[in-house]
């Protein structure tokens, strides 16, 4: 029986186990969601329930496939504190929890100036607990005994690898992902890790994503029916897993990947780690690629914004809004009187001073008032107009994020994920980027696929670069919307609003 690869793909919403063959073809996949467990009023991850489900699915797949390697890929901003018994010893709190501005200020009083930290750690100031170091600081304040009892603090992919193998490790894509815990300039744990007192609890060696963490623990092999020789890789951060196939296939060619989902993540592989003075203080940061090279990155909650605003448009128009036609976009841009502005989670995107709201004919409608029905803009009763305004808003946020990621003339822009199916968004984005070819990728399940590449590389004991001839990626050109001469003027008006006009207390993104 040909060897197969299992991928445990842990998103914030969906958890999945997928099976690939050695030709990197998807053979099977199962997924489900898990509700959070409430601990002292906090949403925390159901680690025990997830583990049981993962092992049951591996056992199910082991009856049909000869699994030789397992890779784990997870969403970001999550660490697990492990006790002496090898189990979590502190709550694994959702990174979406916002402890408040006083907490944020206490964190920076300890950690240091945010701009200086951004220079050294590649990490911007993000809201809630999206910076993992803040998650540790939160545990230190709220659950000090549990944090003190930890013998290891593991990045989320490596926690799951530890549960499978009993071995502790760290790799670059997660360690270097807006964590404040890695010093890019000195290539070691940052001063923040030392100030939090966790640097000696985190594995010091940072290895490749496709390195072998270990083999299955005997009890896991028995539980699942898998061979005890099954390899488990180091694991990989989800956005970097999505990026990996493109780096391998587009070696030496400049591109930016627009990976869309709940988060829109704009990733631009670079040779040099460097911020310009204009970028410091903005929501732009450096990831580490699977090859431990810098990836200039900008993010915003595009998928969340789409779900929220399209849901409100549907609720107030009496039905699910259809894709708007070209006339809706032409009218929107020509009249410049209707706008949808970010951002739902303050400080999560490119416009941290902008309050979420709609504007029509100069009047502002706060998101909360629209949700309650207290004050609803008339254009929400016109679903075509509302959806056109939303798609253009998302496209303009993407353009800003692309610019922050260092987009240069002539570089390709690849969009993958959920927004591939949004024709209005893609047409508007292509129209707003006249000097950059825009494409939709043919990658299905890009995160799982990239993780599968790392597992196959481990199985074959070779670099993922040598897998380029095993797969193809379709890059489908996007035609810009026609007759959108008014787009530049609309963008200028939209930017003035997003950067503060009409938003109390707003500041420039």
C-alpha–C-alpha distance, residues 203 and 494, integer Å: 46
Q: Which tokens sit at 164?
A: 């499978």
* Pick from 411, 476, 467: nearest CA to 443: 476
What domains lie within the chain, and their CATH numbers? 3-234 (3.30.420.40), 242-301+400-477 (3.30.420.40), 302-393+483-498 (no CATH)
Residue 226, SS3? Answer: coil
C-alpha–C-alpha distance, residues 42 and 208, integer Å: 34
Residues contacting 413, CB < 8 A, separation 6+: 255, 256, 258, 402, 407, 429, 433, 436, 437, 438, 439
The per-residue pLDDT for 282 is 86
C-alpha–C-alpha distance, residues 110 and 93, integer Å: 21
Name the CA dihedral angle for 402, 405, 409, 411, rounded to a multiple of 10 degrees.
-90
The per-residue pLDDT for 508 is 31
* Pick from 337, 377, 353, 348: nearest CA to 265: 348
Query: Given the structure tokens 């008032």, which residue do they identify?
Result: 369
How, if at all, do strands 255-260 and 182-183 pair?
unpaired
Cβ density class 4-15: b for 16+ within 10 Å, e for less: bbbbbbbbbeeb
Residues contacting 143, CB < 8 A, separation 6+: 90, 91
The per-residue pLDDT for 321 is 67
Residues contacting 189, CB < 8 A, separation 6+: 181, 182, 183, 199, 202, 204
Residues contacting 52, CB < 8 A, separation 6+: none
Q: Which tokens sit at 473?
A: 């990626």
Is the separation of the CB atoms in 31 and 15 below 8 Å?
A: yes
The per-residue pLDDT for 401 is 96
DSSP codes, 445-500: SHHHHHHHHHHHHHHHTS-GGGGGGG----EEEPPPPSS-TTHHHHHHHHHHHHTT
Report the chain's terminal Cα–Cα distance, integer Å. 55
Is the separation of the CB atoms in 393 and 340 below 8 Å?
A: yes
The per-residue pLDDT for 502 is 45
Look up the pTM and report it. Answer: 0.91
Is the separation of the CB atoms in 82 and 152 below 8 Å?
A: yes
Q: Which tokens sit at 254?
A: 């400049």
Per-10-residue mean pLDDT of the chain, 509 residues long, equals 93 96 97 98 98 98 98 97 98 96 98 96 94 98 97 98 98 95 93 95 95 98 98 97 96 93 93 89 92 95 95 86 88 96 88 94 96 96 94 98 95 95 96 97 91 97 95 96 90 95 39
Is the separation of the CB atoms in 175 and 113 below 8 Å?
A: no
């Amino acid at each position: 029986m040909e060897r197969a690869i299992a991928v445990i793909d842990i998103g914030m919403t969906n958890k999945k186990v997928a099976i690939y063959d050695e030709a990197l073809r998807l053979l099977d996949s199962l997924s489900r969601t898990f509700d959070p467990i409430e601990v002292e009023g906090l949403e925390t991850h159901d680690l025990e329930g997830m583990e049981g489900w993962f092992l049951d699915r591996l056992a199910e797949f082991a009856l049909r496939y000869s699994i030789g390697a397992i890779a784990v890929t997870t969403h970001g901003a999550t660490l697990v504190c492990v006790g002496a018994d090898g189990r979590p010893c502190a709550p694994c709190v959702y990174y979406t929890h916002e402890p408040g501005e006083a907490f944020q200020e206490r964190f920076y009083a300890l950690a240091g100036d945010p701009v200086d930290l951004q220079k050294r750690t590649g990490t911007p100031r993000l809201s809630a607990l999206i910076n993992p170091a803040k998650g540790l600081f939160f545990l230190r304040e709220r659950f000090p005994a549990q944090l003190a009892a930890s013998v290891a603090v593991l990045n989320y992919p490596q926690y799951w690898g530890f549960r499978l193998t009993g071995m502790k490790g760290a790799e670059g894509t997660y360690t270097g992902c807006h964590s404040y815990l890695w010093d890019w300039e000195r290539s070691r744990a940052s001063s923040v890790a030392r100030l939090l007192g966790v640097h000696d609890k985190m594995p010091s060696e940072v290895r490749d994503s496709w390195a072998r963490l270990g083999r299955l623990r005997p009890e896991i092999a028995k539980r699942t029916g898998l061979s005890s020789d099954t390899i488990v890789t180091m694991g990989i951060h989800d956005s970097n897993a999505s990026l990996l196939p493109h780096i391998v296939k587009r070696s030496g060619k400049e591109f930016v990947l627009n990976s869309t989902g709940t988060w829109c993540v704009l990733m631009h592989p670079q040779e040099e780690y460097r911020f310009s003075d204009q970028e410091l203080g903005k929501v732009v940061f450096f990831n580490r690629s699977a090859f431990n090279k810098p990836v200039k990155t900008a993010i915003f909650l595009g998928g969340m914004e789409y779900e929220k605003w399209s849901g409100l448009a549907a609720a107030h128009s009496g039905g699910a809004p259809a894709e708007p036609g070209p006339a809706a976009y032409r009218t929107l841009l020509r009249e410049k009187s209707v706008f949808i502005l970010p951002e739902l989670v303050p400080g999560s995107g490119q416009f941290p001073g902008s309050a979420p709201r709609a504007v029509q004919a100069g009047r502002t409608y706060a998101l909360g008032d629209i949700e309650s029905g207290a004050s609803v803009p008339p254009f929400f009763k016109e679903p075509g107009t509302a959806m056109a305004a939303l798609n253009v808003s998302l496209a303009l946020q993407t353009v800003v994020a692309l610019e922050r990621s260092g987009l240069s003339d002539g570089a390709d822009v690849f969009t993958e994920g959920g927004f591939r199916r949004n024709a209005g968004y893609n047409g508007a984005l292509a129209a707003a980027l006249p000097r950059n070819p825009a494409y939709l990728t043919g990658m299905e399940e890009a995160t799982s696929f990239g993780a599968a590449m790392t597992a196959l590389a481990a199985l074959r004991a070779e670099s993922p670069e040598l897998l380029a001839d095993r797969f193809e990626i379709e890059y489908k050109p996007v035609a810009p919307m026609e007759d959108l001469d008014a787009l530049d003027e609309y963008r200028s008006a939209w930017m003035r609003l997003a950067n503060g006009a009409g938003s109390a207390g707003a500041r420039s993104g």
